Structure 1
Amino acid sequence: MKHLVILGAGTAGTMMANHLVSKLPKAEWKITIVDQYKIHYYQPGFLFLPFDIYTEDQVKKEGKKFIPKGVNYIQKKIERISPEANTVTLDADETLNYDILIVATGSKIAPEEIEGMAGPEWHKSIFDFYTYEGAKALRDKLRDWKGGKLVVHITEMPIKCPVAPLEFSFLADSYFKHKGMRDKVDITYVTPLDGAFTTPKAAQALHHLLEEKGIKEVTNFNIEHVDYDNHKIIDYAETEVDYDLLVTVPTNMGDEVIARSGMGDDLNYVPTHKATLQSKDYENVFVIGDATNVPTSKAGSVAHFEAEILTENILRYVAGKPLDAEFDGHANCFIETGGGKALLIDFNYDQEPVEGSFPFPGIGPLRLLKENRMNHMGKLAFRWVYWNMLLKGIPIPFVSSAMSEKGKKIEAIV
């Protein structure tokens, strides 16, 4: 009996378990998935929790219910990967041997990386919304907040869902308008980038929305520390931005187990071949989702597209065939813009977000880089798709893992 071990039962790991359980011969392969956490979170929902759009129960479920029958589920902390020995050490010195390893350990925020961020004002006047606890604490703060200077800040790239901080800014604008207190709130968006997004076309469209909504933009801001006593963030050029309420996206890093195992880069992401999703250092190790260092968005849609490619490459590896399935960096993201509207962007390694129709060329019904209510409904519908299709490895109709160029005004990334 051969052993395939999946580390992490988040979005990517759970999808891989569901994909592979029906495709690997049960008489030859045992599949084991390991995760220390009992609860599975719908992380895109954390964006909506602070604004009372989603409830707590809508963004969390017991993780085990999504692990398919036939997969051995272990709820334990992963202590170390020993790729030279093909073993994984769990809590209490339990050891798993593997023939194939899939690393799906994700990423998390590390506010301790910035001086003063995780200090005494953490979840008091300084908040994140990238964790369940942070989003809940921010919700409770916003319910009674009387207004002032709201700063939405990104520490550094890469981060999970690069558009989420912008979405938070837009939803905040809409939220305070609805409460009749927008005139009491000054919103500033602070980013280390030289524009609102990572690609020029989308940055242009999103900058226009920031201006339209009266949200100030501070670019090229590389934070050095948080002066929580005086409510300021200060960058290496000694630029200061004052705040009354700081909503920050801290440094995102891969899991500590990657550092303990000596398998990652400076941010604990695993060096990964961007097309095949095979580890660059170990032939029988594959990496998926936020754990990789591939140059595309860390988002649920990316993990979904990667899972389809990786499943094919795992099967080819098992059969002793070359890994010829290639991931093109496809990402597909709804961007909430407030007021019941949203944008949709579709892009990959070589193609930046452009205008067009999705998923049907010339028909849509969704429009790319166009703010409308249909896209907003698509964003909200994705929660049902996530729990009922995505996690279970069920293909989403008419949406392929490779980005289609049909129906789009193609302009390659220079």
Structure 2
Amino acid sequence: MRTLLILGAGTAGTMAANHLRKVLGDDWSITVVDRDTDHHYQPGYLFVPFWMEPGRVVRDRRPLLAEGVTFVEGRVALVHPERSEVELADGTGMTYDWLIIASGTRPDPTMVEGMAEALARREDVHDFYTLEGATALRERLRTFEAGRLLVHVSEMPIKCPVAPLEFAFLVEDHYRRRGLRHMVDITFVTPLDGAFTKPVAAGELGGLLKDRSIRLAADFAVERVDGEAGTLVAYDGRELRFDLLVTVPPNVGQQFVVDSGLGNDAGFVPVDKHTLRSVEHERIFVLGDASDIPTSKAGSVAHFATESFIDNFLAAVEDRPLPNSFDGHANCFVESGRGQAMLLDFNYDTEPLQGAYPLPAVGPMRLLRPSRVNHLGKLAFEQIYWRMLLPGHRLPVPAEMSMAGKRRPKE
């Protein structure tokens, strides 16, 4: 009996387990380990402060795994690749023939002076990258009616890099609908030199910020948060005052990755960006946010990368050349308020461009343009996620990015 061990039962880990259970024979055992039994639909965190009920984003992990997949509840302490063993916090040892690390990323506010303390008070400093944070922010937005509101990104990479922008657009729309927009000054604060990392998207998203009268504070490398004084301080001396700060703390890999010596300085595992195989340990693959691949840490990347990975894993266990090369495909809806959303589609080599998706000319979704159809697509994805993506059904969208329907800007 050969053993596959998967660390993490989030999007990538659950998808991988369910896909592989269909194609691996009875001579394989598949075990998934996670610290608890709650699976969170993380895109829902964005909506919890505004309208989504917090309980709607959580389901039991265990029924989401295919029959024949074993789930173990436990916290991973160390990985010992030299002896193909994983050690849990309670001292349990688990051996494997092949290992998939799909442990994701986590916000770590202790990396910014004053941030953890300010967040703990849940008064004028909040986050929405945890369910607890999003729920507390929901209550704060109900009472906050005037003042300076900062939407802040500490550093990159973060899970779903467009989510802070989405929050800025949604909170602007929130106050517009309440008739309080003129009372709330909103600034989007980012360490990037613009609204996004790539020029075309940065221009479009920056233009939308301007249209919504949302200020942009770029190149802001945060040094500390002073919750008592209500200031956000940058290393270059700039200070931004706030009455409400909605911040995204630095995102890092899991502690066991660091403690096991498997990660880089941020705790992400170095892999071949096309095969997702560890550069140091040939029997370890890394899926989802846990790797260091140079693309968005987003659910769509976990989806496309995992689909590309399946055939590679089957080849690897048979010592054959890996057939698929993941291109870094990412596909992200960007809520823009007013019941509309934008759509970004890009990969390692191609930045987000304008056009139609998934069919050229027909669409029906528009790239880098706000539309009602895009918004409805984002809302519909919740059910697609639970009913199709996690169970391992292939969606009618290719894992590899296509240039069909995209328009490059004129020089």
Q: TM-score category by the smaller chain?
A: over 0.9
State the match for 1:401 in structure 2.
399
Which letter maps to 1:22? K
* Residues 45-66 of structure 1 deviation map (CA, whole Å, 9 limit, x = unaligned): 00000012x1122211111110
Alpha-carbon distance between aligned partners in 2 of 1:329 and 1:285, rounded to the nearest angstrom: 19
How far off is 1:324 after superposition?
2.6
Alpha-carbon distance between aligned partners in 1 of 2:340 and 2:222, rounded to the nearest angstrom: 32
Alpha-carbon distance between aligned partners in 1 of 2:304 and 2:199, rounded to the nearest angstrom: 24
How far off is 1:145 after superposition?
1.4
Which letter maps to 2:16? M
Alpha-carbon distance between aligned partners in 2 of 1:339 and 1:60, rounded to the nearest angstrom: 27
Alpha-carbon distance between aligned partners in 2 of 1:121 and 1:395, rounded to the nearest angstrom: 40
Q: Which of structure 1's runs of 4+ aligned residues deviate more than 3 A? A: none
Alpha-carbon distance between aligned partners in 2 of 1:121 and 1:92, rounded to the nearest angstrom: 30
Alpha-carbon distance between aligned partners in 2 of 1:4 and 1:67, rounded to the nearest angstrom: 14
Which letter maps to 2:400? A
State the match for 1:106 in structure 2.
104
Confirm or deny that 1:8 pairs with 2:8: yes
Alpha-carbon distance between aligned partners in 2 of 1:352 and 1:51, rounded to the nearest angstrom: 31
CA RMSD of aligned residues (A): 1.2
SS at match of 2:262: coil
* Residues 306-327 of structure 1 deviation map (CA, whole Å, 9 limit, x = unaligned): 1111111110011210113110
Alignment of 1:212-231 (within 5 A): 212-231=211-230
> Is the 1:115–1:224 contact (alpha carbons within 8 Å) kept by the matching residues of 2?
yes
2:114 to 116, 126, 133: 116
Which letter maps to 1:310? F
Alpha-carbon distance between aligned partners in 1 of 2:180 and 2:407, rounded to the nearest angstrom: 40
* Residues 11-32 of structure 1 deviation map (CA, whole Å, 9 limit, x = unaligned): 1100000100011111x21111
Alignment of 1:365-384 (within 5 A): 365-384=364-383
* Residues 222-260 of structure 1 deviation map (CA, whole Å, 9 limit, x = unaligned): 001111121001111010011010000000001111011
> Is the 2:118–2:125 contact (alpha carbons within 8 Å) kept by the matching residues of 1?
no
> Is the 1:352–1:411 contact (alpha carbons within 8 Å) kept by the matching residues of 2?
no
Alpha-carbon distance between aligned partners in 1 of 2:104 and 2:166, rounded to the nearest angstrom: 22
> Is the 1:351–1:410 contact (alpha carbons within 8 Å) kept by the matching residues of 2?
no
State the match for 2:173 in structure 1.
174
Confirm or deny that 1:300 pairs with 2:299: yes
SS at match of 2:407: coil
Alpha-carbon distance between aligned partners in 2 of 1:12 and 1:386, rounded to the nearest angstrom: 12
* TM-score (ref. length: structure 2): 0.98
SS at match of 2:391: coil
Consecutive unaligned residues of structure 2, counting only runs of 5 or more, are none
How far off is 1:147 after superposition?
1.8
SS at match of 2:82: coil
Alignment of 1:15-414 (within 5 A): 15-26=15-26, 28-52=27-51, 54-122=52-120, 123-397=122-396, 399-410=397-408
How far off is 1:86 after superposition?
0.5
How far off is 1:120 after superposition?
4.4
- Tell me the matched-pair count: 410
Alpha-carbon distance between aligned partners in 2 of 1:228 and 1:309, rounded to the nearest angstrom: 45
Question: Please, which moves more after superposition, 116-125 or 207-216?
Answer: 116-125
How far off is 1:91 after superposition?
2.8
Alpha-carbon distance between aligned partners in 2 of 1:102 and 1:259, rounded to the nearest angstrom: 16
SS at match of 2:86: strand
Which letter maps to 1:409? R
> Is the 2:107–2:129 contact (alpha carbons within 8 Å) kept by the matching residues of 1?
yes
Alpha-carbon distance between aligned partners in 2 of 1:56 and 1:115, rounded to the nearest angstrom: 29
SS at match of 1:273: coil
Alpha-carbon distance between aligned partners in 2 of 1:126 and 1:268, rounded to the nearest angstrom: 26
Alpha-carbon distance between aligned partners in 1 of 2:119 and 2:357, rounded to the nearest angstrom: 44
Consecutive unaligned residues of structure 1, counting only runs of 5 or more, are none
How far off is 1:146 after superposition?
2.3
SS at match of 2:116: coil
Which letter maps to 2:386? W
> Is the 2:77–2:88 contact (alpha carbons within 8 Å) kept by the matching residues of 1?
yes
Q: Identity of paired residues, percent?
A: 48
Which letter maps to 2:100? I
* Residues 90-126 of structure 1 deviation map (CA, whole Å, 9 limit, x = unaligned): 1321111111000000001000100000114532211
Which letter maps to 1:57? G
Query: Is the alpha carbon distance of 1:376 and 1:91 closer, same or farther for their aligned partners in structure 2, counting shifts above 3 Å?
Result: same
How far off is 1:410 after superposition?
4.1
* Residues 188-234 of structure 1 deviation map (CA, whole Å, 9 limit, x = unaligned): 00000000001100000000000000000000000011111210011
> Is the 1:87–1:95 contact (alpha carbons within 8 Å) kept by the matching residues of 2?
yes
